[in-house]
Amino acid sequence: MKKLIFTFVFLSMFSFGFANENYEKAMSLSIETLFGSKTIPEYVEVANQFERISKIEKTEWLPLYYASFAYIMISFQEHDNAKKDTYLDQAQKYLDQAKAIAPAESELYMLQGFLYPSRINVDPMNRGMLYMGDMNKSLDKALELNPDNPRVYYLRATIMHHTPEAYGGGAAKALPLYQAAVEKFSIFKPKTAISPNWGKEINEAGLKSAQEALKK
């Protein structure tokens, strides 16, 4: 019933076009649905909602950002590597469109950095060297545009944590990055109510995991 009501409200906004307040309301509803999604069909459905918004609000990068985010999340759940790459191609398409609208937006370069590890996971042995440099360049650019973007520190901490110690990673190397992310999250204020504001809880879980690993 709740899903039916949401769909009706969303389609009503879509049918009559968005005033600014309706745009933010539609985005807020879709963002809530995105972060409540658990299955691939749910992520696809909400990505389609963001795409519909983007086709009305052609100068807004946020709908495309969240559509891309949804497909990256799908890639973590999909076990078929061929399908995973297809989902990531879709995520990249939305991300490229968002960059064309807002080429100096830190969050978009952070999301690009978030996409590359999913590409690498399809075939780590062959893709690590292919994408690692591009991933680091994207995260460097994200920090250049906003040195206080906490999601960049979180992502780098996570990557370091899951990199074997033999290759320069591990919990000890990740710990200061997790701690830096905690500090950045503590002072972070999203630009608007619908701007990216995720990662704090996941970072805290990663920090706890790294701390526990170092106690062993």
Q: Identity (one letter) of the amino acid at 46?
A: V
Q: Provide the 10 A C-beta neighbour count for residue 27.
A: 24
Mean pLDDT, consecutive 10-residue stretches, the chain (216 aa), reads 45 50 93 97 98 96 98 94 95 98 98 94 86 95 98 96 91 97 97 97 97 90
Helix H or strand E encompassing 199: none
pTM score: 0.89
CATH class of 1-105: mainly alpha
Q: Give the per-residue pLDDT at 216.
A: 77
Contact between 37 and 21 under an 8 Å Cβ cutoff? The reply is: no
Give the 3-state secondary structure of residue 20: helix
Least Cα distance to 68 among 102, 36, 34, 41 occurs for 34
Least Cα distance to 206 among 188, 186, 179, 185 occurs for 179
Least Cα distance to 67 among 84, 86, 53 occurs for 53
For residue 122, what are its two tokens?
């399809």
Instruction: Tell me whether residue 132 is exposed, middle or buried, using C-beta atoms within 10 angstroms of its C-beta: 0 to 12, 13 to 18, 19 or more.
Output: middle
